[in-house]
């Protein structure tokens, strides 16, 4: 049985998109290998509905939790004033260095067959590089997001070349590189032609066992839900603009809910002037409740940032949407979201297709929107068990 050092900063029970997906992987492989785990112990509340038994079956002396204290205000200030420290590659550098020391202190004399890191944060790539050298073992580096090419990191003329250099070094040393979608894998195979054979992808997944029993969708008003907030370059403009064009008659028959919204989202909705009977902002809910709300929706909405080039992002929330088996409407530039939705029989529009979006909302209000219904074969790439097998295959053959 192979000994694996499994490293992810975010893990259940902390509710982040990263920890949801990594929790799925760990739950699938922990019985197949002799797994040691390194993760962060955070100063935030845990979600008891997100894989509460994730570490069952793993000896406690094989679980290393390294404290991480996040202060959003201090982090924001540092990223603005000290970008060379906070964007080379990110604000987790100090945690990675501490984690390295604690791994050597706790697991230093163990002979691992492979180190498996899950990035984001990008600092985990630097940690994986150091641990590969120390243990003289294989290193599998999973990448949830692009690194030096990530437009959301807003690198400058000084930080961009530094991250490009760090990426080249880390990707060159890794024995396998796993991305989260086909577009990302192809992008990096072209970027690093000499590493093409070690680059592959495993899609984000959903776990059918986690969906609560949902009440039948019914009622005078059709309910469309968007789970999450609007942050960074992700914009609610196409949604709000299309809603402003709905006739009063249609508005009586449909309601939109933005679930888990942040302050920015609340202010956007207030500024729009739309009726609270038409669009409602709901605070953060636990993971089980979010899945229940998905399954009890007449339709679900996913909105990506408006990217005109290198759209290689697969939002993990979309995998949960797919698992709910409800109709999905996408707003996205050409890329993974658009390809995946259309392959499963759903509709996806560009950010400028406001009239087309308006038409869909009118059809939903009239109960005439029937899409989806993908076969089990079409859903297979997004199933937790199948993706666990794909990861195991990589571990077995690295």
Residue with tokens 């053959």: 397
Residues in contact with 309: Cβ distance below 8 Å, sequence separation at least 6, in sequence order:
none
Question: CA–CA separation, 112 vs 5, rounded Å?
Answer: 7
Q: Band of the pLDDT at 87, cuts 50, 70, 90?
A: confident
Radius of gyration of the chain (CA): 22
Show the tokens assigned to 113: 């067959």
Q: Band of the pLDDT at 45, cuts 50, 70, 90?
A: confident
Q: Do residues 49 and 94 share a domain?
A: yes
Q: Is residue 182 pLDDT above 80, yes or no? A: yes
3-state secondary structure of 74: helix
What are the backbone angles phi and psi of residue 30, rounded to the nearest 5°?
A: -65, -25
Give the domain range for residue 147: 3-205+383-397
Q: Do residues 126 and 144 share a domain?
A: yes
Q: Do residues 289 and 347 share a domain?
A: yes
Q: Is residue 139 pLDDT above 60, yes or no? A: yes
- Residue length of the chain: 398
Q: Band of the pLDDT at 376, cuts 50, 70, 90?
A: confident
Q: Do residues 258 and 117 share a domain?
A: no
Q: Is residue 172 pLDDT above 60, yes or no? A: yes
* Nearest alpha carbon to residue 223 among 125, 326, 140: 326
Q: Do residues 171 and 220 share a domain?
A: no
Q: Tell me the average pLDDT of the chain.
A: 92
3-state secondary structure of 90: coil
What is residue 230's predicted lDDT score, i.e. its pLDDT?
Answer: 79
Least confident of 9-13, 136-140, 247-251, 260-264: 260-264
Q: Calculate the CA dihedral of residues 75, 79, 85, 88 and round it to 10 degrees.
A: 110
Q: Band of the pLDDT at 79, cuts 50, 70, 90?
A: low
Residues in contact with 109: Cβ distance below 8 Å, sequence separation at least 6, in sequence order:
none
Provide the number of structural domains found in the chain: 2
3-state secondary structure of 245: coil
Q: Are 310 and 183 in contact (CB under 8 A)?
A: no
Q: Is residue 322 pLDDT above 90, yes or no? A: yes
**Could you tell me the CATH number of the domain that includes residue 300?**
3.40.50.2000
Q: Is residue 250 pLDDT above 60, yes or no? A: yes
What are the backbone angles phi and psi of residue 156, rounded to the nearest 5°?
A: -105, -175
pTM summary value? 0.93
């Amino acid at each position: 049985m192979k000994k694996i050092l499994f490293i992810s900063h975010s893990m259940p029970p902390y509710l982040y998109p990263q920890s949801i997906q990594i929790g799925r992987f760990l739950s699938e492989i922990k019985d197949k290998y002799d797994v040691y785990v390194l993760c962060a112990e955070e100063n935030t509340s845990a979600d008891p509905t997100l894989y509460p038994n994730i570490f069952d079956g793993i000896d406690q002396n094989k679980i290393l939790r390294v404290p991480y204290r996040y202060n959003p205000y201090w982090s924001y200030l540092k990223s603005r004033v000290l970008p060379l420290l906070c964007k080379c590659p990110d604000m987790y550098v100090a945690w990675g260095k501490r984690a390295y020391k604690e791994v050597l202190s706790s697991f230093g004399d163990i002979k691992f067959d492979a180190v498996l890191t899950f990035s984001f944060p990008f600092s985990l790539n630097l940690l994986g590089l150091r641990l590969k050298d120390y243990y003289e073992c294989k290193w599998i580096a999973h990448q949830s997001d692009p690194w030096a090419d990530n437009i959301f990191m807003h690198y400058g003329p000084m930080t961009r070349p530094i991250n490009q250099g760090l990426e080249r070094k880390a990707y060159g040393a890794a024995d396998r590189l796993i991305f989260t979608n086909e577009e990302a894998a192809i992008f990096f195979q072209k970027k690093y032609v000499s590493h093409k054979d070690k680059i592959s992808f495993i899609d984000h997944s959903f776990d059918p066992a986690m969906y609560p029993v949902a009440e039948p969708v019914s009622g005078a008003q059709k309910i469309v839900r968007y789970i999450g907030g609007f942050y960074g370059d992700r914009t609610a403009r196409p949604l709000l603009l299309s809603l402003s064009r709905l006739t009063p008659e249609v508005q009586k028959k449909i309601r939109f809910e933005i679930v888990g919204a942040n302050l920015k989202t609340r202010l956007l909705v207030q500024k729009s002037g739309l009726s609270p009977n038409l669009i409602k902002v709901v605070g953060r809910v636990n993971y089980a409740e979010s899945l229940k709300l998905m399954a009890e929706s007449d339709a679900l909405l996913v909105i990506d940032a408006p990217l005109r080039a290198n759209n290689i992002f697969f939002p993990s929330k979309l995998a949960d949407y797919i698992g709910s088996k409800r109709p999905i409407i996408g707003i996205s530039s050409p890329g993974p979201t658009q390809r995946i939705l259309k392959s499963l029989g759903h509709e996806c529009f560009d950010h400028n297709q406001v009239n087309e979006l308006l038409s869909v909302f009118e059809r939903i209000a009239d109960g005439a929107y029937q899409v989806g219904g993908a076969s089990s074969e079409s859903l297979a790439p997004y199933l937790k068990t199948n993706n666990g097998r794909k990861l195991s295959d990589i571990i077995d053959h690295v």
